[in-house]
Amino acid sequence: MSQPQFRTPKGTHDVLPEDHQYMTYIKKAVRHRARQAGFRRIDTPMYENKAIFERGIGEHTDIVEKELFLVTSKQREAEEKEAEFALRPEFTAGICRSYIEHGMQQLPQPVELYAIGQCFRHDRPQKGRYRQFHQFDMEVIGLKDPSIDAQLIQVIMNIFKDIRIADRLQLHINNIGTAENRVAYTEALKDFFIGKERNLPEIDRDRLTTNPLRLLDSKEEDTQILLKSAPTFEQFLDEESKAYHKTLLEYLDTLDIEYIENPKLVRGLDYYTQTVFEFQDKETGAQNAVGGGGRYDGLIELFGGQPTPGVGFAGGIERMVWHMKQAGVKAPHKDQVDVFVAQLGPEAKKECLKLITGLRDKGVHTLGALGEASLKSQMRLADKFEARYTLLLGKMEVKTGTIILRDMAAGKQQEIKYKDAISKVIELLGKDNLDTYTIRDRFVEVDED
Ligand code: HAM
């Protein structure tokens, strides 16, 4: 085979039909669990004013400093202006912008929103790390209570259980205090490292000036050794944060949710306050978290809104698919071909067009070979598509008002009346296996979207 002239850009990938079976299953679980808990779906633009990410996520975070995809246009280039927009690296900042823009503080609180879609980060591609990937995101905005954090964690846990990967994951949880606590602790960390900078690896020496808290979850061994004698976050937490955390852990116990208290967990986004949590791979740990989240009680105010608390979470869908595959979970799907319709001759072809439409309308997954191939090669095709039944209509059958129905697995066939073809197929498949939806469902879908 010759080399293709074009390939997907580095760090991106096609989601092929086989992977969509997993993704569809995951999205179904997310929608189902979100709806059960009162969440409503929101979509924000794929690109936003880049200041939203800079201010929200933080100018000195990896995501903003290194990974933003800036959006520009020919027109802007001509004007030699800096790019104003960036592709979203996550959902939280955009959803908070939307909360303010649409006056959602007027709605009954908390406002529970969820989103599913692509995010973009110009990271170095590696296993489980892409430049374009999918997240499902859940946000609870407008009310603060440890029971809200606990409920959110429960909903996420249920999603991981539904797709059968919960056993592979571990919930890590921490409280990083208020913004003031963070400032005080950051200062203490900086003081501690005065005179010790030379012993830090270069990457952490930089972080010490830009984002010292990231030293805590540094992967560098030297940094971790030095940190053993550094002041701990806990010493700087105010009483309210400590009490909040204690109550949250009690609620998690009540809900029988297992967790690991991890004082090193700070997460890579600046908007967090108090609760932070992450679902990590039991085997490999923090490297490739399947999802993470936390509280961001100052973010909406930072965007110019009324002071409004919030808590949320995002899961990486590609990483969830990977875990499902590792766990040997086969995503149930409805892609099977129920019936293959084969025909010969112009009259038969016309009839088959009607037959195919009739079958599909009844919810039977139907493929039709409407080319000019011989019956034999059409049958071979039916086999390749793994169709359960084949309906064969040749010149003779058209004349006699009959059709041949073949059970592909059994290799047996029978002649039946043409007018009974649809009802016979439905009888064989069983009414419960038809892929139908009612008008009522259709209206509900339209309303929701
Ligand atoms: P995050 O930890 O940056 O949090 O991302 C959440 C999840 O998205 C990660 O745990 C991972 O599974 C997936 N993910 C992130 N980057 C990549 C990548 N390059 N390739 C593949 N998957 C990736 C957030 O995004 C926050 N907005 C979560 C949140 C919501 N906090 C409060 N509300």
What residues does each domain of the chain span? 17-178+238-326, 339-433
242, 175 in Cβ contact below 8 A?
Answer: yes
* Ligand 1 center to 423 CA (angstroms): 49
Residues β-bridged to residue 341: 368, 391
Q: What is the pLDDT of residue 207?
A: 86
Tokens of 430: 């069983």
Residue nearest to atom 20 of ligand 1 (CA): 129
245, 275 in Cβ contact below 8 A?
Answer: yes
Q: What is the pLDDT of residue 439?
A: 64
- pLDDT tens for the chain, 449 residues: list them: 678 899 999 999 999 999 999 999 999 999 999 999 999 999 999 999 999 999 999 988 889 988 999 998 877 766 777 779 999 999 999 999 999 999 999 999 999 999 999 999 999 999 999 999 999 999 999 999 999 999 999 999 999 999 999 999 999 999 999 999 999 999 999 999 888 888 899 989 988 888 888 888 888 899 999 999 999 888 999 999 999 999 999 999 999 999 999 998 989 899 999 999 999 999 887 678 999 999 999 999 999 999 999 999 999 999 999 999 999 999 988 899 999 999 998 899 999 999 999 999 999 999 997 777 888 899 999 999 999 999 999 999 999 999 999 999 999 999 999 999 999 999 999 999 999 877 665 555 554 43
Residue 188 is given by DSSP the state H
Q: Which one, of 262, 245, 277, 300, lies nearest residue 101 by Cα?
A: 300
Cα 386 to chain centroid, rounded:
30
| Torsion sign, CA atoms 408, 411, 415, 416 | negative
Tokens of 305: 């809104």
3-class SS of residue 277:
strand
Task: Tell me if 54 CB under 6 Å of ligand 1.
Answer: no
Measure the N-to-C terminal CA separation of the chain; round to a whole number of Å. Answer: 43
Q: Pick one of 3.30.930.10, 3.40.50.2300, 3.30.70.260, 3.30.365.10 as the CATH number of 17-178+238-326.
A: 3.30.930.10
Q: What is the pLDDT of residue 48?
A: 96
* Ligand 1 center to 317 CA (angstroms): 10
Q: Rounded to whole angstroms, what are the CA distances from 60 to 233, 326, 360, 443?
A: 20, 35, 55, 46
Task: Tell me if 130 CB under 6 Å of ligand 1.
Answer: yes
Residue nearest to atom 1 of ligand 1 (CA): 292
* Ligand 1 center to 282 CA (angstroms): 18
Q: What is the pLDDT of residue 449?
A: 39
Alpha carbons 427 and 429: distance in angstroms, whole number: 6
99, 111 in Cβ contact below 8 A?
Answer: yes
For residue 313, what are the contacts with CB-CB under 8 A and spacing of at least 6?
A: 137, 138, 152, 153, 156, 277, 291, 292, 293, 294
Alpha carbons 90 and 136: distance in angstroms, whole number: 10
Q: What is the pLDDT of residue 209?
A: 87
Q: What is the pLDDT of residue 74?
A: 79
| Torsion sign, CA atoms 339, 15, 84, 100 | positive
* Ligand 1 center to 240 CA (angstroms): 28
Q: Which one, of 93, 99, 90, lies nearest residue 117 by Cα?
A: 90
Q: Which atom of ligand 1 is nearest to the CA of 290?
A: 12
Alpha carbons 302 and 232: distance in angstroms, whole number: 27
Task: Tell me if 172 CB under 6 Å of ligand 1.
Answer: no
DSSP β-ladder status, 339-343 and 389-393: parallel
**Helical packing angle, 17-36 and 146-162, nearest 10°:** 150
Q: Which one, of 297, 315, 318, lies nearest residue 306 by Cα?
A: 297
275, 244 in Cβ contact below 8 A?
Answer: yes
Q: Which CATH architecture has domain 339-433?
A: 3-Layer(aba) Sandwich (3.40)
Task: Tell me if 58 CB under 6 Å of ligand 1.
Answer: no
Kindly report each contact of residues 97-102 with a partner whose C-beta sits within 8 Å and lies 24 or more positions away, as own/partner.
Answer: 97/44, 97/48, 97/52, 97/303, 98/42, 98/44, 99/141, 99/300, 99/305, 99/308, 100/300, 100/303, 100/304, 100/305
| pTM for this prediction | 0.91
Q: What is the pLDDT of residue 401?
A: 96
Alpha carbons 217 and 445: distance in angstroms, whole number: 43
* Ligand 1 center to 67 CA (angstroms): 13
